[in-house]
Amino acid sequence: MKQETFDSALRSTWHQVSKMYNKEAGKFDSTMAMGFALLSIDTEGTPSTTLGPKMGMEPTSLSRLLNTMETRKLIYRSQNPSDGRSILIHLTAFGKEKREDSKAVVLHFNAEIEKRLNEKKIQHFFEVMQCIKEQALEFEHFTTPTKTNAL
């Protein structure tokens, strides 16, 4: 392959984008993860157990993030009425306000990109992304060693 590999383009572009989001969030002493969490919590409250997979975060990092957000009065917790063992995460009024800010940044950034592209390029971009995702799901280079049966 003469050009850059698909995965290195992905890595470096995602790196650049998250740097930008962290810079914008940093203007309010916030982080990209916090903005992303605000956008992942819906208005009726979201079970804490579904947030992790939604955000692709490990339970420990997620719980640390939610604690910070609770201290900053962006969210509060309540017991799930339909499942006593599970906790719902809700946005406070302040959290909802900040959620709108996060949404505005994301929409603005994506609109700026869209402006500079045509339909065909956009369509191909999403097609290639989908292809990479599917390939990553089924790809295997090293075969898993088969376990020899004990007698």
- Choose one: 41-49, 64-72, 84-92, 127-135; the region binding its own copies (CB under 8 A): 127-135
- Choose one: 23-31, 41-49, 69-77, 82-90; the region binding its own copies (CB under 8 A): 23-31
Handedness of CA 25, 65, 83, 80 (dihedral sign): negative
Burial level of 12, CB count in 10 A (0-12/13-18/19+)?
exposed
Q: Is 75 left (phi over 0), alpha (psi -120 to 50) or beta?
A: beta
Other C-beta atoms closer than 10 Å to the C-beta of 74 total: 22
The binder of its own copies chosen from 43, 71, 144, 148 (CB under 8 A): 144
Distance between CA atoms of residues 72 and 14, nearest Å: 28
Is position 87 an interface residue for its own copies (rule: CB under 8 A)? no
Eight-state DSSP code of residue 42: -
Is position 141 an interface residue for its own copies (rule: CB under 8 A)? yes
Cβ nearer to its own copies, comparing 87 with 105:
105
By residue count, the chain amounts to 151
- Choose one: 43-51, 66-74, 85-93, 102-110; the region binding its own copies (CB under 8 A): 102-110
The binder of its own copies chosen from 65, 85, 126, 148 (CB under 8 A): 126
Task: Identify whether the C-beta of residue 90 lies closer than 8 Å to the C-beta of residue 38.
Answer: no
Site of interaction with its own copies (CB under 8 A): 1, 3-7, 9-17, 19-21, 24, 27-28, 56, 104-114, 116-117, 120-122, 124-129, 131-133, 135-137, 139-142, 144-145
